[in-house]
Amino acid sequence: MTAAPNAVLHPWLQAELTAILAALPPPAGARPALAEWATWLGHAPGKPLPPLRLILVWDNLAGHTSWPLVRWLFEHGIMPLYTPLSGSWLNMAESLQRILVGRALAGQHPHSQEELIQWLEETVAGWNAAPTPFVWEGKRHERRVRARQRRLGGSGAALTNHQLIAA
């Protein structure tokens, strides 16, 4: 689905989430703290809710925060967890997105929206089949540091603030 108003998106999403819940084993026995509503809400719910079964991480689009949809999620044991509007996690998400888009396109030019979506889905499926760990300050970072040092020239020696000695 590429674009849809809430009247279309919400029933579709509810059907998808219902199918996911049906595939999960039923909750049984004592629940760990991370499987309790109070852990995620910060307080006990005001009214009885079904067992927490799924944490749904998504963005802050207005349709995602509409009370009818949020109520439906709660009534089905789904806790919506909204991503922050800004923060360092965005850097990782955007970096991962650049890697996936680069791999999906790899010099190709899609001729339709459907073709682009298919390429991205296939790339993500391939990544998930054999995931590559995402490492901050890995090989790419080291190459950038070396390139920056070449551009700046000099001896390559550097002092940090706590190493400076007053003359």
pLDDT, average across residues 51-63: 86
Backbone angles phi, psi at 82, to 5 degrees: -85, 135
For the chain, the average pLDDT equals 81
Domain that holds residue 75: 13-21+32-106
Task: Identify whether 145 is part of a domain.
Answer: no
Task: Identify whether 166 is part of a domain.
Answer: no
Task: Identify whether 3 is part of a domain.
Answer: no
- How many separate domains does the chain show? 1
Looking at residue 73, its amino acid is L
Task: Identify whether 102 is part of a domain.
Answer: yes
Contact call for residues 68 and 84 (beta carbons, < 8 A): no
Give the per-residue pLDDT at 146. Answer: 87
Task: Identify whether 75 is part of a domain.
Answer: yes
Contact call for residues 79 and 52 (beta carbons, < 8 A): yes
- The two tokens of residue 113 are 């929206």
Between CA 36 and CA 75 the distance in angstroms is 14
Task: Identify whether 56 is part of a domain.
Answer: yes
Task: Identify whether 84 is part of a domain.
Answer: yes
Residue 167 banded pLDDT, cuts 50, 70, 90? very low
In angstroms, the Cα distances linking 29 to 33, 36, 41, 133, 152 are 13, 13, 21, 34, 62
Task: Identify whether 160 is part of a domain.
Answer: no
Q: What is the 3-state secondary structure (H, E, C) of 23-71?
A: HCCCCCCCCCHHHCHHHHHCCCCCCCCCCCCEEEEECCCHHHHCHHHHH
